[in-house]
Amino acid sequence: MARKKNFEKPLYSDKDGIRFATPKAVAQYRAKRLKCKTLADISCGIGGQTIFFAKECDFVYAVEIDPKKIEYARKNCELHDLDNVEFICGDALSPDVIEQIPKVDVIFSDPARPAEENKRKVMSLEPGIPNVISAYSDKTNNFVFEAPPQMPPERIQFDCEREYLSLNGQLNRLTLYFGDLKQCERSAVSLPDNVHISSTNTTYDMDETQTLKMYAYEPQPSAVKAEMLPQLAGSLKNDIGNVDVKLFTIDKKRLLITSDARFKNAMLKNHYSVLQVTDFEPDTINSILKKHDVGTVVLRAGVDPADYWTIRNKIENGLSGKNTIHLFVKDEKAIMCEVI
Ligand SMILES: C[S@@+](CC[C@H](N)C(=O)[O-])C[C@H]1O[C@@H](n2cnc3c(N)ncnc32)[C@H](O)[C@@H]1O
DSSP string, 136-149: TTTT-S-EEEEE-T
Query: For residue 3, is pLDDT > 60?
Result: no
Q: Which atom of ligand 1 is nearest to the CA of 112?
A: 10
| pLDDT band (50, 70, 90) for residue 90 | very high
| pLDDT band (50, 70, 90) for residue 1 | low
Query: For residue 334, is pLDDT > 70?
Result: yes
Longest dimension (CA), the chain: 71
Instruction: Write phi, then psi, for 283 (nearest 5 degrees).
Output: -70, -40
pLDDT of 114: 79
Beta-carbon neighbour count of residue 254 at 10 Å?
17
Q: Which homologous superfamily is 15-148 in?
A: Vaccinia Virus protein VP39 (3.40.50.150)
Query: For residue 82, is pLDDT > 80?
Result: yes
CB of 135 shorter than 6 A to ligand 1: no
**122 vs 220 pLDDT, higher one:** 220
**282 C-alpha to center of ligand 1: Å?**
48
CB of 76 shorter than 6 A to ligand 1: no
Q: Please enumerate, as own/partner, the contacts of 151-157 that have beta carbons within 8 Å and a separation of 24 or more.
A: 151/120, 151/122, 152/225, 152/227, 153/185, 153/186, 153/226, 153/227, 155/121, 155/122, 156/122, 157/122
pLDDT digits (tens, 9 = 90+) for 259-292: 999 999 999 999 999 999 999 999 999 999 999 9
The dotted CATH code for 215-339 is 3.30.2130
Query: For residue 293, is pLDDT > 70?
Result: yes
Q: Which atom of ligand 1 is nearest to the CA of 113?
A: 1
Query: For residue 70, is pLDDT > 80?
Result: yes
CB of 66 shorter than 6 A to ligand 1: yes
Q: What percent of the chain lies above the pLDDT cut of 70? A: 98
Spans of all domains in the chain: 15-148, 215-339
Query: For residue 123, is pLDDT > 90?
Result: no
| Amino acid, res. 151 | M
Instruction: Write phi, then psi, for 338 (nearest 5 degrees).
Output: -90, 135
pLDDT digits (tens, 9 = 90+) for 149-179: 999 999 999 999 999 999 999 999 999 999 9
Mean pLDDT value across the chain: 94
**pTM for the whole structure:** 0.94
110 DSSP assignment: -
**171 C-alpha to center of ligand 1: Å?**
21
